Structure 1
């Protein structure tokens, strides 16, 4: 797969994931957090196993280990995301969660013990200002419980991006995607039985939400992300996350009736600038070197 086709696939994956915010909000009106996660990923695992079981064998010990690690981190990401959406608007959650874009180069700098690029530093500064605007309340800046969960999801997602890029170089990316979905199902099921009263969806609305989340957002979005990331860089993968909050905000305002106050609009503008400025600076630098 060429880098161009990988970029197109990655963009489609991110957009598919963006629609999940809308459907999660609807689903949690009747189902608890881990209950919804468990049913969603059970359906996804079942469909993928039935349709692509031949792709799952043989599986190396390395793939099994790496897929398990991804599944655990992704479960943390999904749990934080769902709990954030429980109490905060989908637009706010999406923008805060996707600050993972600027966390990726910072984590790379920490793990490689090198200083971040100037473009990354500038992007972080502008994005932090945007987060400040988004979390502003009359009287000052205060993080709500939902916003703390969203930022925790951002850190988890940045770790997922880095681990996926590393593991996809040596393991089968499709098998990695399937394993992470399988582990999210297992862990969310355990959490549902320990902390909630699990049940199956009871009406066509709940089943409709589960099927969309399982087929479009999970079966397509989660499974094919490792495939796309195998042919692109982790920095580029992180930058594509900018599509997520834009799509989620549009759906939140138009379909969920969410409102955007002036300071939230200012925060969104800052975050968009913080996400795109590093891309433009690096692109310009590469052109100058050619």
Structure 2
């Protein structure tokens, strides 16, 4: 394989993971004035419109050839809708760094779910990685005492399981269908579901200031259009193990942004917990295939 192509894919993947980490900061800021479902609906519908206008011919052509793209996109969209809804509501009750760390423990949950699906007991390395990550999660969420594990942390844990399910669904769906088209269509499904839910449970409204619009556009164009659509493109050129290691940058990015821009503090025990989570994620990602 062309080394330059691999290097470009690695740079792209790192950029997407970092963008995902930055999204926690933008989302938490916008949630001060917007409901989580409203933010989710507007963000993903705007992203879908941008992507669909640019890639209209390709998406329509692929759907005409393979109508199962719609059902695959609906299933993937439902998993991500659950993940993102729990994430945004959780962000209202906990810090962006804690939310990012907990949600990205999904990288460790994935091999456990796969083991159940294929009825094969996880390897010793996977078990040890899960143990390390579980200790890290306990340290980062319970560093202030048992009372610090509240609704926000609980919702972030649900988001982690939904994220893990989405990763597995993404793997299954993109093996049989056009990954790029699924990447676009499922974004539309997420936006529609979120906006419908927003009209039921919230009072939807658009951003009120120029700063809010700028943050929304950053979430739409960079974190959604790129992060949710180009990940399959990047992973075509690099191994799953390498991609898994790079996902460790996600919570690290969120923690750094929260510390620099939002004055979010983390206790020494919480910092050690975060390091353990990253170690667990990396150890699982580097497990040999089979």
- Extract unaligned runs of 5+ from structure 2: none
Distance (whole Å) between structure 2 residues aligned to residue 101 and residue 211 of structure 1: 28
Which residue does the alignment assign to 1:94? Answer: 100
1:281 CA drift (Å): 5.7
Distance (whole Å) between structure 1 residues aligned to residue 100 and residue 232 of structure 2: 21
The answer to whether the 8 A contact 1:104-1:234 is kept is: no
- Extract unaligned runs of 5+ from structure 1: none
Which residue does the alignment assign to 1:65? Answer: 71
What number of residue pairs does the alignment pair up? 284
Alpha-carbon spacing, 1:119–1:7, altered in 2? closer, same or farther (3 Å): farther
Which residue does the alignment assign to 1:191? Answer: 197
Which residue does the alignment assign to 1:225? Answer: 231
The answer to whether the 8 A contact 1:165-1:229 is kept is: no
Distance (whole Å) between structure 1 residues aligned to residue 126 and residue 10 of structure 2: 20
TM alignment of 1:214-253, pairs within 5 A: 214-230=220-236, 237-253=243-259
The answer to whether the 8 A contact 2:245-2:286 is kept is: no
Among residues 75, 87, 94, which one is paired with 1:81 in the alignment? Answer: 87
Among residues 9, 14, 20, which one is paired with 2:12 in the alignment? Answer: 9
The answer to whether the 8 A contact 1:127-1:274 is kept is: yes
The answer to whether the 8 A contact 1:168-1:230 is kept is: no
Structure 1, residues 135-156: CA drift from partner, whole Å, max 9, x if none?
Answer: 2155547621000111111111
Q: Does 1:130 align with 2:130?
A: no
The answer to whether the 8 A contact 1:101-1:158 is kept is: yes
RMSD: 2.2
1:231 CA drift (Å): 5.3
Alpha-carbon spacing, 1:236–1:166, altered in 2? closer, same or farther (3 Å): farther
Among residues 164, 184, 188, which one is paired with 1:158 in the alignment? Answer: 164
1:237 CA drift (Å): 4.2
1:190 CA drift (Å): 0.5
The answer to whether the 8 A contact 2:143-2:267 is kept is: no
Distance (whole Å) between structure 2 residues aligned to residue 266 and residue 221 of structure 1: 28
Among residues 112, 115, 121, which one is paired with 1:109 in the alignment? Answer: 115
TM alignment of 1:36-51, pairs within 5 A: 36-51=39-54
Distance (whole Å) between structure 1 residues aligned to residue 48 and residue 172 of structure 2: 24
SS of the residue corresponding to residue 199 of structure 1 reads coil
